[in-house]
Structure formats: C-alpha cells, structure tokens
Amino acid sequence: MTPKPLKVLVTGSSGLLGAGVAGRLVEAGHDVVTLQRRPSGVTGARDVQGSVTSAETVRQAMAGRDTLVHVAAKVSVSGPAEQYEQVNVQGTRNVVEAAQEAGVERMVHISSPSVAHAGTSIVGEGAGPADPDHARGHYARTKAQAELLALAADAEDFRVLVLRPHLMWGPGDTQLTDRIVDRARQGRMPLLGPGAALVDTLYTENAVDAVLRAVEAVDRVHGEALVVTNGEPRAIGELVREMARAGGAPAPRLRIPARVATSAGAVIERIWEWADLGRSGDEPPLTRFLAEQLSTAHWFDQRRTREVLDWTPRVSVDEGLERLADHYRSV
C-alpha cells in the first residue's frame, strides 16, 4: 500500500467486499472509518452507523478523511424504484458532495458491469460507458446514474477511479454463491438453454485486492471505469454446477429454453412490482435481467484493468472452488 498512512472512509462495510477492504486497510496501517447501517465488525476501524442517504451522517463520517472507498449500495433484483434512487443515486451524490467539501483527495467508486449491459452478449470487450437509459432494472439503472455522478466529479484535486467487479463469489457471499447453493439444494436452480455461454467471474479475495490496488492507482490514473474479473471465462452451466457441488448440493438438472425464461422473467417481474411483493425484501424467482445473465455470454478484456492496477488475481477459479467447498464443509 501507499507508504504514507491514509485517512480512509469506507462505506458499506457491513457487506463482504466493504468489510474485506476496510480490514485490509487497517492491517496496512491506515486510519479507517466505516459507514454502514449496522456494525461492520472490522477490528481497528471506527464505526459510524447510519445510511448514505443522510447527508448529515455522511458529512460527519467524512470529516478529516483524505480517501473515500464507496461500496454502499442497494443490491437486489426487486423492490420499489425509489429505494434504489435513494441509496444508489442520492447516496452517491451525498458522499461525493461531502468528500469535495471535506477536501478528500481520492475516491474509488464501486460500480457494476450491469451499468453498460443492455441484454446482449458481451464478448471480450472493455468497460463500455454507463448507460442508464438502456440498463436493465432498477439496480443497474441507478448504479449507472451513480457512476456517472462519480465520474463527473473527477478533477485533479478530487481524483475518481471506478471499479466494476463482475459476479463476485466465494465463502461468505450471500448475493450469488449462497443463492445458487440454496436453490440447487431445493431443486430450483435451472440451467437456461445449453448452459454454454461463457461468463467471467471474480473471486471475493481478488476483488478486495483489486480495490486496494485502485486506492494506490487513483493518484496516477483517474476519470475512468474498469471492469474487474478473474479473467477466466467458464461456461455458465459449468460454474453453476461446480458452485452447487462445492456447497454439497446436487448439480442442477432442470433446463429451460433461454427465450422462455426471459419471457417468463419479464412477466414475473411485472407481477412482483404490481403486487408490491419486493417491498418486504422478498425477491422473485426469476426476472428478465437474471434470465439474460444466465443465458448470454459476458466476459471482458482485462488488459486495461491489469495495466492500471498493476494487479493479477491471486486465487484462480479452481482454487476458489476448493476453498468454497472447504467453507461449506465447515459450516
């Protein structure tokens, strides 16, 4: 890490990525404040409990900081649009404005490849521009708006670098890994089409490493977005089967034609929204976005990412699957 200790604010540190980043920054000797709605559990960091939707809470947490890592977001596939707007858009606006007022010098903003995904395959491309008008669903649309807000603030005295981690997975991950395993155990994890679409992913420890390297790199390169992956595209069917097996679940056998799943997902999504079923936190079994993610190729050219960050993943997909199996055997 940077030789001079930094004064860092990490938002969203009750989540796996935010907590991992905050903990590693503490280990490296930096002064770390965390901001999230519940205790972060990060030893050595000073917790500020609250939401990024509160401008006053954000200003208090930002005081005296010189570096910002903004991880906090509403991550889901359902729920009212206003909840995503409040956290992802207004929350990002709050942290950017507070950082500028406090004289923060650098910001690493965590975004998502979904901000530039319009439903078609992505094959060996770089990070395309965030596109709120064509992004799929409330999450992707508001994350696209948030990324544009962050990049618009980039300046020589407030340097902004955006990372888009792609499909993070690993022990302790509840967003993707646990859901695949749980649904496979229940026999509700279908494979869409032949399951042959190539998909790139990112093991969680590699994601943490990449964010720490971004904190160093933002003083040299800023004002752009980088997709971050393991750089090991695998067939989506193979990945799902191997994650299920690592979790002690049977390999999924149910197959649904991709077009049928996409159409069904769109209908389910509308019903879920019409009945306001997402307000309580329940998620639909399938959405159009999920169907597209499970049936189209999406893997990325990592040359620019590795050049800027001077980074390569430490944990391969195969090693990650072994670690995942060890994790599930121990819980």
Measured distance CA(33)–CA(31) in Å, rounded: 7
DSSP string, 112-180: -GGGG--SS-EEEE--PPP-TTT--HHHHHHHHHHHHHHHHT-BTTBEEEEEEE-SEESTT-TTTHHHH
Q: Are 135 and 164 in contact (CB under 8 A)?
A: no
Q: Between 258-274 and 288-295, two packed helices, what is the crossing angle to 10 degrees? A: 160
Dihedral in degrees, nearest 10, Cα atoms 228, 52, 86, 148: -40
Q: 326: which 2 tokens?
A: 């060890």
Please identify which of the residues 84, 139, 203, 328 carries the catalytic annotation: 139
316-322 CB contacts, 8 Å cutoff, 24+ apart: 316/203, 316/230, 316/232, 317/201, 317/203, 317/230, 317/232, 317/234, 317/239, 320/169, 320/170, 320/203, 320/230, 321/242, 321/243, 321/246, 322/246
Cα dist. 39→47, 48, 159, 202 in Å? Answer: 7, 8, 29, 26
Question: Any idea how long the chain is?
Answer: 331
Side chain identity, residue 222: H
Torsion sign, CA atoms 217, 220, 226, 231? negative
Side chain identity, residue 211: V
Measured distance CA(208)–CA(100) in Å, rounded: 25
E strands along 6-125, which residues?
7-11, 31-36, 46-49, 67-70, 106-110, 122-125
328 is catalytic: no
Annotated catalytic residues are: 139
